[in-house]
Structures are given as structure tokens and as C-alpha cells.
Amino acid sequence: MKPKVRKAIIPAAGLGTRFLPVTKTVSKEMIPIIDKPMIHYIVEEAIQSGVEDIVLITSRHKEDLERYFDYNYELEDRLMKAGKVELAEGIKKIAESCNIICVYQKEPAGLGHAVGCARSVVGQDPFAVLLGDDLIDSKVPCTRQLIDVYNEQGMSVVGVMEVPLSDTSKYGIVGGDLIGPKTLRVKTMVEKPKAEEAPSRFAIPGRYVVDASIFDFIAETKPGKGGEIQFTDALLKLAHSKGLLAYQFDGDRYDTGDRLGYLNATLTFGLRRPELREGIIQLMEHHLRKS
């Protein structure tokens, strides 16, 4: 019987160049969607999927990530004394929800390298990987869906979504044989292929559940596209050696590392908030009339 998936890795060491100049001093993952930073939503997804230990892969000058998931006794006390009990408890809950372990990636050497940095913490246990700038909105958390497939099939699995051929150059693309309505047995994976070279339209937007053998494949992977150690290359070795599934998850994905994707997520989540919905609609109508 396979051990339960109780650990997750969230790579968050990137420079966030698409959000400069703010990312000169603020981690990209700390940019808020309404009043919660992007990383908060990712951590919540992991917790709601049954994860207990989260390894944050960070880098120098990203201390704000570590501080966010720590206790802030002074702020909590001040809010309690001001009668803002619900807000105080909400802030405290962030630190209580799971164990956060921070590991530094000392050089920007690719996603595969970032995941490999967590090997000594994860050990021999299976784990999830959630990218810090991919927000997936779904009734059942995307990671939970993948964990269920992992448990049922006994095989590592990546989450995929169908994209237009014109967008395949933005993602890792998988190809393989359908073994169920939403599941493929992976035969090939290509990192950011041109449309004419893409094996399918199934793209990986940043959710994975894998067993610990992936660390061996990462260790033997040589730098690929962009001179980086590509996680896609290690996953392909895993697919050929032990097998790998691709599951078309239910949910809407937002690329919050992209400015338009970030604005889309902000509007979507804002319109769901009863106290904000009417005001947002009025603002949008006002600006549309002016334009």
C-alpha cells in the first residue's frame, strides 16, 4: 500500500520579472488578490487537499514569504484588544494550518532544480508540487483530484488542461494514450513546443503528484532549454521508467504570474465577494462609459 500524500513543494524562488518594478522589493507571490497574497491561495489548496507539511522553495531577499506564514503576536493582540476577534483569528489560522519549511534555492537553475532542493526534507514520501503563480479555482481542489488519481491508479500524475495550439509554446505539453475519459498514460513530454511540434494540446499548468523516485531522475537530468534543469525532462524519465499519468482536472486556471491573468483572477474573486460585487460592477461600468 502506497503511503499517503501528506507533503507538498511550492517553488517560489523566481525573480518575478513580469511584475517589475514592484518585485524589486516584494516577492511576486506576495502580491495580493484582493486582500490575500497569491501564495495564500496556493497554500490553502494544499491544506484542503490533505497536505500537512509544505516546503517553500525560496531565495535571498524573500523573507516576506517566511514572515507571512509565521505568527505575529503583536498584531494579533492589537486586533483582539480592538474587538476584531474574527480578523485576529483569521491571521493566526495562517500559521496554524500546516507546517511550513523554507528551503533556499541558491541559484536560478530551473524548476527541476528547485524541486530537487527539497529532497532532504521530503525523503522517501510521495508529494505534490504546486507552482506559486498558478491559481486553480475548483470545487474539489485540483491537488486533491490528482491525489485521488494517484491513490486509485498507484502511479504519479500531472494535471493537464486543453489549450489552443497557438499557446503550446507557453507550457510543458504531454502526449500519450487515453486510458479513461480524462486520463492519459504519458508517452512523451515537450517543454514549450512550437504548435507544429506539439504532441497534443494537453498542457501542464503547474500541478503534480509524484513519488520520491523523481529525485533520482532530477539528479541525472542535464540542463536543457534555457540552460536550466527542466522538471519536464525528469518527469519524462519517470514516465518511461515507472509510468506517469496525465489527468484533465476540473477547474479554472489563472496565470497570476502574468499581469492580465492576475487582473482576471482579481476581478473573478472580487465579484464573488458580496461586499465588493456591486462596487466593482459600478466601477467597471463607469470606466467603460468614460472610454
The single-letter DSSP state of residue 23 is G
Structure confidence at residue 14 (pLDDT) = 79
Structure confidence at residue 168 (pLDDT) = 92
pTM of the predicted structure, to 2 decimals: 0.90
Cis peptide before 199 (omega within 30 of 0): no
Question: Where does residue 156 rank: exposed (0-12), middle (13-18), buried (19+ CB within 10 A)?
Answer: buried
20 band by pLDDT with thresholds 50, 70 and 90: confident
Q: Which of 64, 38, 36, 49 is nearest to 8 (CA)?
A: 49
Report residue 1 as a C-alpha cell. 500500500
Instruction: State mean pLDDT over 21-48.
Output: 89
Instruction: State mean pLDDT over 214-233.
Output: 86
Domains present along the chain, CATH in parentheses: 7-257 (3.90.550.10)
Structure confidence at residue 1 (pLDDT) = 60
280 band by pLDDT with thresholds 50, 70 and 90: very high
Report the C-alpha gap between 141 and 251 in whole angstroms.
Answer: 8
Q: How many other CB atoms are there within 10 angstroms of residue 178's CB atom?
A: 11
Strand 134-137 and strand 252-255: pairing?
Answer: antiparallel
Instruction: State mean pLDDT over 204-217.
Output: 94
